[in-house]
Chain A
Amino acid sequence: MTTAPPAEQRSPGPSELERAFDAAVAAEERIEPRDWMPDAYRATLVRQIAQHAHSEIIGMQPEANWITRAPSLRRKAILIAKVQDEAGHGLYLYSAAETLGVSRDELLDKLHAGRQRYSSIFNYPTLTWADVGAIGWLVDGAAITNQVPLCRCSYGPYARAMVRICKEESFHQRQGYELLLALSHGTEAQHAMAQDAVDRWWWPSLMMFGPPDDRSAHSAQSMAWKIKRHSNDELRQRFVDICVPQAASLGLTLPDPDLRWNEQRGHHDFGAIDWDEFSQVLKGNGPCNEQRIDQRRRAHDDGAWVREAASAHAVKRRARATEPPGPPPAVSSPTPRHAPQNGATTT
């Protein structure tokens, strides 16, 4: 991954196109797929949207891990629907990336080859049922804090995908909170399960906002382009301030002895984040890195013959449709009746 070169190094003087682009961004107009955009802007968006899409589909795993063991039918239905939503988010985001000229298959290949990343949070395991609640409350909560500003991102298709995603994410966050509330007010064992999950997920959730501002590789340029609206540290602080009162209502504690209200700052102070752990997990040494990517690859490889069959069948249908004196192709399009659910990825 490369960082964008500063604007002044790209060309001797800004071209007409660049001036128009900069003016549109400055005027808070949306950049659309057919608009001219700097190569580095395109590359940054592809990197970010791909990472986001990959996070959605890898993120299905730790939660799907509990679908078959959900302790009530109501919770089971909520969980299946949630994981299904994540697959749907993956679909919108890969589509948004496609508007920038990269295909889903290309991006998946890069994910499988370890050349593109997904959010490190999903390299932590879901060990008990309460982890499903902690992911909803904390991980989805952090994701929303990150993502709400993306609804105003300068790139139109990404911004619009995020509007829909944020609505569903906030729903997931409330469900996670409600799951933990039931546990916290349940039996002693349930309460302990909830507290243990929060203890394990709190710090990794804070790491989701990325490295501190002075160490963030992509932040400055992304903010100038209005892809990003707030710094990592700002968003992290916002998240901590939101979570503290919610933890109190849940009857659970956050595992940070340094967490306290700072009257002067008007924010909560919190303890030092273990950035060594963050960089270890990022490097692939987290508890589940290998497992997550292996499962992803296996699903993809095991499904190759299915996708090939769908493509071969589509070709056969098209051929039949164009056999003379066949009807015009549009009439007998092989489009499945219930797109997108029935459609396979054609390569």
Chain B
Amino acid sequence: MTAGSPPPAAPAATSPSEPARLVGEDATAALMLGDDALILSHRLAEWTGHAPALEEDVALANISLDLLGQARTLFSLVGNEDELAFLREERAFHNIQLVEQPNGDFAHTIARQLYFSVAQEIRWTAVAGSPDCPTPIRELAAKAVKETAYHRDHAWEWTLRLGDGTDESRTRMRRGIEVMWRHTGELFVPIPGLPLDEPALRAQWLTALETVLAAATLTLPEGPDADAWTAGGGRQGVHTESFGFLLAEMQHLHRSHPGATW
């Protein structure tokens, strides 16, 4: 966890020894996965001070920090982390649309967490074990899989509590998984540079979801998760309306002081 790690004594915008940078498809892969982590981290951090219980302020901030750490590592494989986060336009972000969805109520957030963290754990496990994936991404995956298991566990437990809690929580949780479902089609779209068996990963994901949802007295939504009316295009830089506002807020201060060091 990154929560208590001391900051370096001097601002560390660029490392003195230039790290090996990924290029081509490998860089695209790092950027796509880094953008997912950065944007979801941002959304989760929006909960800080607004969570339903203090324990959740702590937990959601913790998950947000883990994801921010993943994003920073992945960005450092491609270029300067702050330039990548603060100076790209909306169309240059490659995160899937699921992670940029507004928090909604707690059930919406948990549904988004459930879909994403189960998928991310499956993906990091696969990347860590695949010799065909770029080495620095594999190394990150091997570390990240441990914290991602905790994120999945958090989402899993809350899915059970909300699904199998009160009538109101069940209604809200069912609505959450339905609303977020249409954004899940992008989770297993092949990522350039990461030669993985995506349909097999998706099958694993579906099995895991069916298990937890059944235990939570819920079922997988029936609507399509790809094509037709569903969302998609995040990997190509096509985002949803709320994303522009997220970036405006996130980038405003950094962009207002060009070249400044923070």
B153 CB-CB contact with A under 8 Å = yes
The verdict on A115 contacting chain B, using a C-beta distance below 8 Å, is no
Asked whether any CB of chain B lies closer than 8 Å to the CB of A329, the reply is no
Closest residue on chain B to residue A300 by CB atoms = B52
Q: Once the chains bind, are A306 and B162 in contact (CB under 8 Å)?
A: yes
**A91–B51 CB distance below 8 A:** no
What is the bound-complex CA distance between A68 and B250, given in angstroms? 5
Q: Is the Cβ of A69 less than 8 Å from the Cβ of B252?
A: yes
Asked whether B55 is an interface residue with its Cβ less than 8 Å from the other chain, the reply is yes
15 residue pairs from A and B, CB less than 8 Å apart: A57-B54, A68-B42, A73-B38, A77-B72, A81-B3, A84-B3, A94-B54, A298-B50, A302-B105, A305-B172, A306-B56, A313-B162, A337-B153, A338-B153, A338-B154
Contact of A71 with B262 at beta-carbon distance under 8 Å, contacts A76-B68, A81-B3, A309-B162 already known: yes
Residues of B within 8 A of A83 (CB): 48-49, 61
Q: Is residue B175 within 8 Å, beta carbon to beta carbon, of the partner chain?
A: no
CB closest chain-A residue, reference B69: A77
> Does B58 sit at the interface, judged by CB under 8 A?
yes
Asked whether A295 lies within 8 Å of B150 as measured between CB atoms, the reply is: no
Q: Nearest Cβ distance between residue B250 and chain A, in whole angstroms?
A: 6
User: Are B55 and A77 interface neighbours, CB within 8 A?
Assistant: no
Contact with B along A83-121 (1 / 0, CB 8 A): 111011011001000000000000000000000000000
Which of A57, A74, A81, A308 is in CB contact (< 8 Å) with B165? A308
A13 sits at the interface (CB 8 A): no
Assess the A84–B61 pair: CB atoms within 8 A.
yes
Return the CB mask of B230-262 against A: 1 if under 8 Å, else 0: 000000000000000000011011100101111
Which of chain A's residues 44-75 have a Cβ closer than 8 Å to chain B? 57, 60-61, 64, 67-75
Listed residue (A69, A81, A303, A337) with the most chain B CB atoms within 10 angstroms of its CB: A81
Evaluate contact between B249 and A69: CB separation under 8 angstroms: yes
Interchain CA distance A228-B45 in the complex, whole Å:
36
Cβ of B16 < 8 Å from any Cβ of A? no
Q: For A298, what are the chain B residues with a Cβ–Cβ distance below 8 Å?
A: 50
Tell me whether B162 and A72 are in contact (CB under 8 A): no
Report A-chain residues with C-beta under 8 Å of the C-beta of B13.
72
Which residues from chain B sit less than 8 Å from chain A, CB to CB? 2-7, 11-13, 38, 42, 45-46, 48-59, 61-62, 64-65, 68-69, 71-72, 75, 81-82, 85-86, 105-106, 150, 153-154, 157-158, 160-162, 164-166, 168-169, 172, 249-250, 252-254, 257, 259-262
Stretch in A14-22, A183-191, A205-213, A243-251 with 4+ CB within 8 Å of B: A183-191
Given contacts A71-B86, A77-B72, A84-B61, 20 further A-B contacts (CB under 8 A): A64-B49, A69-B252, A69-B253, A74-B7, A76-B68, A77-B68, A78-B7, A81-B4, A87-B48, A171-B4, A186-B262, A187-B260, A189-B260, A298-B50, A306-B106, A307-B52, A313-B164, A313-B165, A344-B52, A344-B53
Q: Are A75 and B165 interface neighbours, CB within 8 A?
A: no
Complex CA–CA separation, A312 to B169 (angstroms): 10
Known interface pairs A80-B65, A178-B7, A186-B260. Does A73 touch B53 (Cβ–Cβ under 8 Å)? no
Inter-chain residue pair count (beta carbon < 8 A): 187
Residues on B with beta carbons closer than 8 Å to the beta carbon of A343: 55
Complex: A336 Cα to B55 Cα, angstroms? 12
Contact with B along A329-347 (1 / 0, CB 8 A): 0000000111011111100
Contact between chains at B157 and A308 (CB < 8 Å): no
Residues of A with C-beta under 8 A to B165: 308-310, 312-313
* Chain A interface, >50% SS class: helix
Q: Is the CB of B150 within 8 A of A338?
A: yes
Cα distance A83–B161 in the bound complex, in angstroms: 26
Nearest CB of B to A162, in Å: 18
Residues of chain B within 8 A (CB-CB) of A336 are 157
Q: Which of B45, B55, B250, B262 contacts A80 (CB 8 A)?
A: B45
B174 CB to nearest chain A CB (Å): 13
Query: Can you name the residue of chain B whose Cβ is closest to the Cβ of A342?
Result: B157
Q: Which of A71, A186, A308, A345 contacts B254 (CB 8 A)?
A: A71
With A74-B7, A313-B165 known as contacts, the answer to whether A84 contacts B58 (CB < 8 A) is: yes
**Most chain A CB within a 10 A radius of its CB, from B13, B106, B250, B262:** B262
Q: Which of A57, A74, A189 contacts B11 (CB 8 A)?
A: A74
B157 to chain A, nearest CB (A): 5
When distances are taken between beta carbons in the complex, the residues of chain A under 8 Å from B168 are 305, 308-309
Chain A, 276-315, CB within 8 A of any chain B CB: 295, 298-299, 302-310, 312-313
A182 contacts B by Cβ under 8 Å: yes
A189 to B157, CA, bound (A): 47
Given the known A-B contacts A306-B169, A312-B166, are A84 and B257 also in contact in the complex, defined by CB atoms under 8 Å?
no
Chain B residue at minimal CB-CB distance from A77 = B68
Given the known interface contacts A78-B7, A295-B49, the answer about A187 and B257 at a Cβ–Cβ threshold of 8 Å is: yes
